Amino acid sequence: MFVRTATASTTAAALLGAGALLLPADRPEAPERQTPVTAPVTAPVVVAHRGASGYAPENTLAAVDAADALGIDWVENDVHRTRDGELVVLHDTDLKRTTDAEQVFPDRAPWAVKDFTAAELAKLDAGSWFGAQFTGARVPTLTQFLHRLERNRQKLLLEIKSPETYPGIERDIIRVLGRSGWLDRSHVRDRLVIQSFGADSVKKVHTLRPDITTGFLGTPAVADLPSYAAFTDQINPSYATIGADYVAAVQRLKGPHGKRLRVNTWTVNKAADAVKARDYGVDGIITNFPDVVRDATS
């Protein structure tokens, strides 16, 4: 999912090693106290988008730890594949925005992830663009990311980025998940969802491992929803594209595991929008500022 991430002020830092967090000055304000709604509402699950990316550089281990410091269980990430077949965690198809690749490898334009080896990516600084206190943060491999989540006892919403660029990446992801212990019954049942904007990619994951919970990123037409329900357990649309009627239409259907389809919407960073999304009936909210959304909707 591509959205513009909020950037922390340079005077704020995540003191993750000490287990505490300093919140940036531009943290979204909480809304004024709302009049209670007449019908009971359930607080949606809060998912830290690319980690707590409002407080630490996205898709880094620091962002995972920032989410953990805030008490957030679910973390979303993005997975690509390097030239030599390593799965790595970052959002863009190129390295320009969130690393110093242009400085370290000035002759390697357009700096596409697929054109670099894992060893070359390991040399890049993936943190200083966000704040000086994160200088030296690295692009993690998927294995490193999974190990950090495991250490923190967190859960993973994994997005397959640009699957058409990486033929066979679904099988590669499942292989790494298995090697890292993420395909046992407890992880598959409670701690793992794989999603993509590519319907064919989601179908492939479902075919390879029918037990894994899957999500389709987007807002299919209501008339098309039954065809998606054949292979995905979640419809995960942009917040700007939904309303209560659409959420209800999705949730009326059952997915391949016989459970009603769930809706996780993205990317909601303002408290007032989070309240609206909750009142639409969404099951989850994906956000750069998970504490803001949690406090607004609980």
Exactly one of 80, 91, 187, 206 is catalytic; name it: 91
**Token pair for 46:** 């809060």
Out of 49, 80, 187, 206, the active site residue is 49
Cβ contact 62:130 at 8 Å: no
Element (H, E) at 251: helix 244-251
Distance CA 273, CA 12 (A): 25
91 is catalytic: yes
CA separation for the pair 208, 219 (Å, rounded): 24
Catalytic annotation on 49? yes
| C-alpha–C-alpha distance, residues 50 and 47, integer Å | 9
Long-range pairs of 193-198 with CB within 8 A, sequence gap ≥ 24: 193/156, 193/157, 193/158, 193/233, 193/234, 194/158, 194/159, 194/160, 195/157, 195/158, 195/159, 195/160, 195/234, 195/236, 196/159, 196/160, 196/161, 196/163, 197/1, 198/160, 198/163, 198/164
Closest C-alpha to 126, from 78, 66, 61, 81: 61
Residues known to be catalytic: 49, 91
